[in-house]
Amino acid sequence: MTAPVDQLILNFPLDPVCTFANLVIGDGNHKAADAVRALAENRTTLLVQLATALLLIGEEGTGKTHLLQAAVTHCRALSGEESAIYLNTVALREQLRESGEQDLTRFLDRHAACRLVAVDDLEELEASPSLQEGILYLFNRMRDTGGHLLVAGQKSPQALEGLRPDLRSRLLWGSVMALDLPEDEMLGAILAKMVDDRQVRCGMELLKFLQLRLPRRIPDYAAALDRLNEASLGLKRPLTVPLAKEVLNL
């Protein structure tokens, strides 16, 4: 028995923190962020002209997911819930193992009227011919209706040998923008912003310690702060360097 189509939709929640208002981005990534916002607002700019697709390419930790989810949230706020969708390619590929291609077709049909489709983790498409066909279908619908496909991945489609040629060529018709990893000063600002977003008490000593000892990846920052906050509440201890050493094994 295949899973209900509605179950697919529930796999793609948006993080309420991932908005343009909460975006902290380095100088080198401002053009890409401006282009993403232009798509969300359905504006034509010199950066994003009539291209159907905009590709964001960058290593993990460059803020790709934040930008995609911020674009979808902003587009929905301007044009309604049905105007944009965020597709978590990893989760969707896992869902297909328990569901089937018919459910994927129904799912994509339900969202074919979107004017903005954000597809995360482009490289995950290599392992799923069904998903590649689905994204190609969405691309063609966006082209015919004047919508846009916003795609993010760690590698350019040119470097993904497992992509079908017609999908690769269509994706490369659009604009490709590279995202740079944040520098130390920007990482510190992002970490401080995460603390503010979670409304936790965290002194500068702990912030500097975490930035020094944690991997230079934004997802690791978020996971560490969540673990520390949970431990602090459970143990009724303040957020300190000793607690971080104990909980995070640093």
Q: Which residue has the higher pLDDT, 244 or 113?
A: 244
Range with lowest mean pLDDT among 152-156, 170-174, 213-217: 213-217
Predicted confidence at residue 23, as pLDDT, reads 82
Res 151 pLDDT > 90: yes
Categorize the per-residue pLDDT at 46 as very low, low, confident or very high, splitting at 50, 70 and 90.
Answer: low
Res 171 pLDDT > 80: yes
Predicted confidence at residue 6, as pLDDT, reads 46
Q: 111, 49, 40: which is closest to 69 by C-alpha?
A: 40
- Structure tokens given for 18: 């991932």
Res 131 pLDDT > 60: yes
Categorize the per-residue pLDDT at 160 as very low, low, confident or very high, splitting at 50, 70 and 90.
Answer: very high
What is the chain written as a DSSP string? -PPPHHHHHTT-PPPTT-SSTT----GGGHHHHHHHHHHHTT---SSSSS-SEEEEE--TTSSHHHHHHHHHHHHHHHH-GGGEEEEEHHHHHHHHHHS-HHHHHHHHHHTTT-SEEEEE-GGGGGG-HHHHHHHHHHHHHHHHHT-EEEEEESS-GGG-TTS-HHHHHHHTTSEEEE-PPP-HHHHHHHHHHHHHHHT----HHHHHHHHHHS-S-HHHHHHHHHHHHHHHHHHT----HHHHHHHH--
Rounded to an integer, the average pLDDT of 211-220 is 81
CATH code reported for the domain at 5-178: 3.40.50.300
Chain segment 56-72, per-residue pLDDT in tens: 999 887 889 999 999 99
Q: Which residues have C-beta within 8 Å of that of residue 232, sequence separation ≥ 6?
A: 200, 238, 239, 243
Chain segment 218-234, per-residue pLDDT in tens: 778 888 888 998 988 89
Q: What is the mean pLDDT of the chain?
A: 84
CATH code reported for the domain at 184-248: 1.10.8
CA–CA distances in Å: residue 152 to residues 117, 149, 243: 11, 10, 36
Res 75 pLDDT > 90: yes
Predicted confidence at residue 52, as pLDDT, reads 84
Predicted confidence at residue 9, as pLDDT, reads 43
Domains 5-178 and 184-248 share a fold: no
Predicted confidence at residue 49, as pLDDT, reads 57
Domain-wise residue ranges, the chain: 5-178, 184-248
Categorize the per-residue pLDDT at 3 as very low, low, confident or very high, splitting at 50, 70 and 90.
Answer: very low
